[in-house]
Structures are given as structure tokens and as C-alpha cells.
Amino acid sequence: MYINYQTFKKGLMLSLLAGSTAFISCKKDKNEPENSPVAEKEFLIDAKGTDKSFALYVSNLESGEVSISSNFEELPETDYFWSFGQNTAVGLSYKGQNPGIGVSYKRNADKIEKITDFQVPSRFTTYGFFDKYFVVNVGGQTLAGQQINGKDRNDGATFIFHNVSDYTVATRTTIGTLEITKDLGKNNKEIASFSGILDRGNGEFLSSMIYSERNQPRPGSGSSTADITKLDSIWVAAFDKNMNLKRIYKSDKLGYSSGRFRSQYISQLGKADNGDVYVFSGHYEKQSTKPAGALLIKKDATEFDKDYFFNIEAASGGYRFRSVFHITGAKFLLEFYNNKEFYNEKIPTFSPASKYAIVDAAAKSFTWVTGLPDPANITSTVGVIAMGYKGKCYLPVAEKNNDAAIYVIDPTTAQAKKGLVVKGAQGIRGIGKI
């Protein structure tokens, strides 16, 4: 029989190739699906190294490691106070008596890009998202051309509205707080400062008020908080986007609603998924006779709910708290001071606060979080923000002698487990989805 060897060789090669391809395809189908989806990056992390901070962009928070050297970019400043909203991230760097520094980012496909750097005139004491704006506030401002009893009025509160699209200034409005405190004509003595910017979703935002005497104002920066004048009452103002005062919510069941760190006011306002607003009070002032607790403003209500009161201090066994983070539904993560009595009696705001609890405000339930490092081993939590996402809570934790990590907390069980570790990071300041 005649055999064409060229044809034979060609057929043999084709057969071998077909077999090899089939083998490779079977192996790939078993272990590496051809259309395996690539995890989408969606979380911005501010990670701090020895002397610099970096913005990281990651897809997974549940496990694994990422190096701080794999940064998206080096941040212009360190120790930002972060907010996340409307698919953007904005960080504010506190500069004491000087104007603050801001940086903003947005998502662009699978990357993040910087929107702009900007300056916050007259520093800042509280901030937050409202409507299509990022709002920054500072108190103790001089009202041009206005005097009482021959003295310049310095009871002004300035609200600066930044367009979220490009973080340019849309409006800047200074209101006189003497009219709010009803102290007009009474020796120019009292001032109202504000804590928190909470978008109510109905064209209004809420901000808690802290009533105090005033310190001597510093040029260009305003005054810091002096002695509190209304220790045993809680006040919340509702404004529209034109800074018209719509109403004031007042109750004598709790003291004022705000956490404190130096001249910063830390928001203790929290909105549940159904639109109800819980107004927390951490009982910062030891002279107050009121406990740490929470009140309720139901969705679209014009006054506090008369039937709601949650004594969180009693539920915790006598502890007070500083920060409040919404997780899901009416569940919140609360950041407590480590001791019932502050460590630093002269400057209580510098006292360690690294104990955490899950609070279901609607059910009035309280559970300490387990699975976190010992509070004594957790380094400074000032400015650290937790994130609620798909029913879980993600809490950045910096621990002595360990790389900083994200802990994942189940709000149903209040159990925490270590998730993503940032190698080389001494701290994680903020985390959020954009």
C-alpha cells in the first residue's frame, strides 16, 4: 500500500494538536474558567505609613493582603477626615487656626481619579453631604458691620456649600446664631456651634447645636468652644439649602448631641434605612445630669417622638461614646471611651476610645463587639470612620506591633473577624465605597 508520508505527517500533527488542545481546554475548564469575572475595585482606603499617607483602591475587604506600596497615589496631606457620598470621596485636613485643606476623588470605570484639591476658608468644625453639595461649617465668625453694645458680633456660623461635581464653592452663607439662641441683646454672650450635616432626603438637612459661652475669636478662624451653657438639653436645627431655619427640635431628656475632639464636632446623628433619624448623645460633659442615649425623629416629623427614649449608658454598664456609624436598617456601630472615667481629665477629648458596640436603635438592643484586638492595644481612633455595606460593618483597626487591617463585623452577632490587611500601614484613617 502506498503511503504519502507528507500527508501522514500533516495528519499526525493535526491529531496531536487537537488532542493537546482538548487536554488544555479540559484542564482550564476544571480549574480556571475562561470567563472568570474580575473583581471590581470600588473601595477607597486611606492608609498611613511612617510619615506619608496613600490612597489605595481595592476590590476585596473580607480577606487577603495589600501592600501600602501598591498605592493609587500618595496623598497631599496626612490625617484626613473623610466623607463618602454621591460616588465621591472627600478628605479634609485640619490645620488648627489656619484654613483647612481638602482633596476629592471620583470613580472612573475601574479606576479612581482626583477631582481637585481645594482650600476650606476659616478652617472647619463639622461637615457632611446634603443634596448635591458637600457642606462645611465653622462657628465663631464675625458678622461684618454688626455690633451689640459696642462690640462686634462674632456669633456667626458659616456654611460653605461645595458642588459635588467639581468641589467648587456654590454658596457661602453666614448666619447669626444669637437669633437662634434668643440671646440677641443679652450682652452678646452666647453662641451656637453645629455638629453634623445629615441629609433628611426631603430638601432639608439636620445639624445638632451646642450652646456655649464664647472664647476670644482668633482672626480668620473663629472661636473654639468655651463653657457649655445648655448641658442638660438637646437641640437640633433643620435648614433648607438656602440656610432658612425651618424648625428646631428640642428635648430635655438628653444633653447635646455631638462627639468632641479638640475643636472638631463629631456628628452623632444617624438615619435608618426607613428615613427615621436617631439623635444620639454620648454624654461627653461630666457635669451633665443626663445619660448617654438616643432620641427619635420619625421620617418627616416636626418634633421628637414623645414615646421614644433609649438609655444607652445604662445598657452599656455606664460607658459613654464618641462616634456613631450607620450599618444597615436601624443598626449602628458606636465607638465608646475605654473607661467610664476619662483617662485625661484636663483634656477628655484626648482620652482613648476603642471599645465598640452594636446598637439596634429601633429594638433598643445593645451588644458589645467581640473579636477585635484588646482596646489597650488599639492605637488612636481619632478620625477613623467605619463603613456599612451590604449588611456588614467594616472597621479600620490599627494595632500595636501589627499592620493595620479592616475588621468585618456581623451586626446580628456583633462578632468581628480580621479581613484585609494593609502591609506596611501603621493606620487606616478612612474607608468608603465610591
Q: How far is Cα 144 from Cα 412, in angstroms, rounded to an integer?
A: 53
For residue 24, is it within any domain?
no
Cα distances from 25 to residues 11, 12, 14, in angstroms, run 21, 20, 16
DSSP 348: G
Q: Hey, is 124 helix, strand or coil?
A: coil
- The alpha carbon of residue 195 and the mean position of all alpha carbons in its chain are separated, in whole angstroms, by 13
User: Residue 387 has what pLDDT?
Assistant: 97
How many structural domains does the chain have? Answer: 1
Q: Is 128 within 8 Å of 269 (Cβ atoms)?
A: no
262-284 core/surface letters (b: 16 or more CB in 10 A; e: else): ebbbbbbbbbbeeebbbbbbbbb
* Ramachandran category for residue 383: left, alpha or beta (phi over 0 → left; psi -120 to 50 → alpha): left
Query: DSSP string covering 224-257, please?
Result: -EEEES-TT-EEEEEEETT--EEEEEEESSS---
User: Residue 31 has what pLDDT?
Assistant: 45
User: Residue 101 has what pLDDT?
Assistant: 87
Among the listed residues 35, 30, 94, the one whose alpha carbon sits nearest the alpha carbon of residue 266 = 94
Structural domain of 407: 38-433
For residue 20, is it within any domain?
no
Q: How far is Cα 368 from Cα 321, in angstroms, rounded to an integer?
A: 13
User: Residue 112 has what pLDDT?
Assistant: 84
DSSP 263: T
User: Residue 3 has what pLDDT?
Assistant: 41
Does the predicted TM-score (pTM) go above 0.85?
Answer: yes
Q: How far is Cα 130 from Cα 205, in angstroms, rounded to an integer?
A: 7
Residues 6+ apart with CB under 8 A from 8: none
Helices (H), 223-360: 312-316
**Grid cell digits, residue 379:** 492605637
Q: How far is Cα 109 from Cα 278, in angstroms, rounded to an integer?
A: 35
In degrees rounded to 5, what are phi and psi of residue 164?
-65, -25
User: Residue 372 has what pLDDT?
Assistant: 98
Residues 6+ apart with CB under 8 A from 399: 373, 377, 378, 379, 405
Q: Is 338 within 8 Å of 351 (Cβ atoms)?
A: yes
Mean pLDDT per block of 10 residues along the chain (434 residues) reads 42 41 38 50 91 92 93 86 94 81 87 89 86 93 83 88 95 91 73 95 96 65 70 96 96 95 89 98 91 97 98 97 97 96 82 96 98 94 94 97 97 98 94 92
Q: How far is Cα 199 from Cα 424, in angstroms, rounded to an integer?
A: 37
For residue 285, is it within any domain?
yes
User: Residue 22 has what pLDDT?
Assistant: 37
For residue 86, is it within any domain?
yes
- The alpha carbon of residue 265 and the mean position of all alpha carbons in its chain are separated, in whole angstroms, by 12
Q: How far is Cα 333 from Cα 320, in angstroms, rounded to an integer?
A: 13
For residue 9, is it within any domain?
no
For residue 31, is it within any domain?
no
Q: Where are the beta strands (DSSP E) in 164-285?
A: 169-176, 190-199, 204-214, 225-228, 234-240, 245-251, 259-261, 264-266, 269-271, 277-281
For residue 30, is it within any domain?
no
- The alpha carbon of residue 163 and the mean position of all alpha carbons in its chain are separated, in whole angstroms, by 19
CATH number at residue 297: 2.130.10.120
For residue 17, is it within any domain?
no
User: Residue 9 has what pLDDT?
Assistant: 41
User: Residue 217 has what pLDDT?
Assistant: 54
